[in-house]
Chains A and B, each alone.
Chain A
């Protein structure tokens, strides 16, 4: 039976697949066969994760979307999927390695911190809005994480060539982030009576959103200043981490409406 007790078995298989795909993708000689092999191994990794998520859904009698550990599963899923899409579309071979390492790190957190799976689910989370809200957020986080990784590469190599992929990733990520945030606002109205309450989590979501919009607008007005654009993306990703985890560190979250995480 699939459950958190057996997660480490799946995690090892997934890690093996995505890490092998990442390492093989770095080989200097990239024949068509090697390319196909990388794609197939990566897909196998994603399929194993999908099987685990489906199995866990049956075990829990609901979609695994309600605890931080469950949400991380979706993040790993979208990150691996986007890594593959970027590899196929733009042939950034190093991308798979970075997405693999990030995914493995998140799976490790889930294995090392089993207490995050036993959290009590508050009644406010039992809503039809929860699934689209969280899935869209996770999908957008994965896009924005990819844009961050590409920005780091661009900054290290001091090249503007990565800019157009950053634009693709950031604009898609921002679009999903916007939809998720607004769906959250509609849900908040239904659950708590207000669209926006200036909660610690909401403030950081707004800061993150503004940073990414700043990036998109800065790119529009200063397309040649690519270093500044990369730096804005790094700062925006930092804001995103604050929004996701950072706020949990501060004691004021105890009085927050988002303190179930």
Chain B
């Protein structure tokens, strides 16, 4: 028994490693949590964050230092792991999963992401309720990050990325997902024209596709260029590749795009203030995280 007591920390690590490895092999389809489950999950996340924050005030089961330590170790491990999987082709052994494996869709990634969001939320709640001064920009920055992570994650469950290849004058109302599933679009897409601008060496400088978009009520002709997508009925249309005969279009349905953009703007404003004000080392009483 004394061995277990003395080496508790190492035993926890030994237990956590196979669990982490096991979770990393389980792939999760983000669309499983699509609307309305993502909204329920979002509210649940906020509730658990508040609960963890309030409980920690009374029972002090995690100090500010531990919270930050855990959160950062989690993220760094997450990033390193992701990097390792990204570069798995460098490792000549069969231990790593297949080439099509996407770590950001693994159960391990999702669990760590949720854990980080909850811890960050708990930190915000603790700070909101316990510390009365030097709070404004701390809360603003952390709230921005919290919103970006939460809405980014929840938004990915409702986002659909599809692609289609069209020749000139070809019409379609279908596009294909990464997995090759055909999805019906609520409008028809016709490629009218392609304009390719080349430099004196013949290399492409810019390309533009003229597309006609029509549904039951209306028909519109729009141009789609790199960095200039067009939006129709909640769908964003991007031109990915173009030749003189046809082009590859990407169609994205992302209902959370403005929510995420708003969260990003909160973070940017916080960073601008941080640039001018810098960071201050807080007093001992304020170091709650």
Contacts and interface: CB of A to CB of B under 8 A. Distances in A.
B104 interface: yes
Nearest to A120: B203
B246 interface: no
A123 B287 contact: no
A94 to B, nearest CB: 23
Interface string A188-227: 0111111110101001101100110110111111110000
B226 A171 contact: no
Given A126-B206, A178-B271, A219-B281, A193 B287 contact: no
A223 B287 CA distance: 11
B43 interface: no
A6 interface: no
A120 B104 CA distance: 32
Nearest to B203: A120
Interface residues of B, number: 49
B89 to A, nearest CB: 7
B61 to A, nearest CB: 17
B264 A182 contact: yes
Contact of A195 (B104, B203, B205, B260): B260
Nearest to B257: A189
Given A172-B275, A190-B227, A216-B279, A179 B260 contact: no
A168 interface: yes
Nearest to B141: A178
A19 to B, nearest CB: 30
Interface in B93-130: 103-104
A210 B74 CA distance: 11
B238 A193 contact: yes
A259 interface: no
Given A124-B227, A168-B278, A193 B161 contact: yes
A189 B282 CA distance: 37
Given A179-B268, A220-B282, A251 B89 contact: yes
B90 A251 contact: yes
A210 B257 CA distance: 24
Contacts of B279: 167, 171, 216, 219-220
B72 to A, nearest CB: 5
B184 to A, nearest CB: 19
A83 B177 CA distance: 51
B226 A126 contact: yes
B161 A221 contact: no
- Which one of A121, A178, A191 has the highest number of Cβ atoms from chain B below 10 Å of its Cβ? A178
B30 to A, nearest CB: 13
Contacts of B261: 186, 189
B74 to A, nearest CB: 10
B80 interface: yes
A198 B86 CA distance: 9
B65 interface: yes
Contact of B104 (A123, A126, A198): A198
Interface in B232-258: 236, 238, 250, 252, 254, 257
B125 to A, nearest CB: 18
Interface residues of A, number: 50
Contacts of B236: 193
Interface string A156-178: 00000000000110011011101
A210 B145 CA distance: 12
B68 A217 contact: yes
A229 to B, nearest CB: 11
B34 interface: no
B268 A123 contact: no
Given A126-B226, A195-B260, A220 B275 contact: no
A175 B272 contact: yes
Contacts of A216: 279
A220 B82 contact: no
A133 to B, nearest CB: 12
A222 B214 CA distance: 62
Contact of A167 (B75, B79, B278): B278
Interface of A: 120-121, 123-124, 126-127, 129, 167-168, 171-172, 174-176, 178-179, 182-183, 185-187, 189-196, 198, 200, 203-204, 206-207, 210-211, 213-214, 216-223, 250-252
Given A171-B279, A182-B271, A210-B79, 16 more contacts: A167-B278, A176-B271, A178-B267, A183-B268, A190-B227, A191-B226, A192-B250, A193-B238, A194-B252, A196-B152, A200-B87, A203-B79, A203-B83, A210-B75, A210-B76, A220-B279
7 contacts: A175-B272, A176-B275, A200-B87, A214-B76, A220-B281, A250-B90, A251-B89
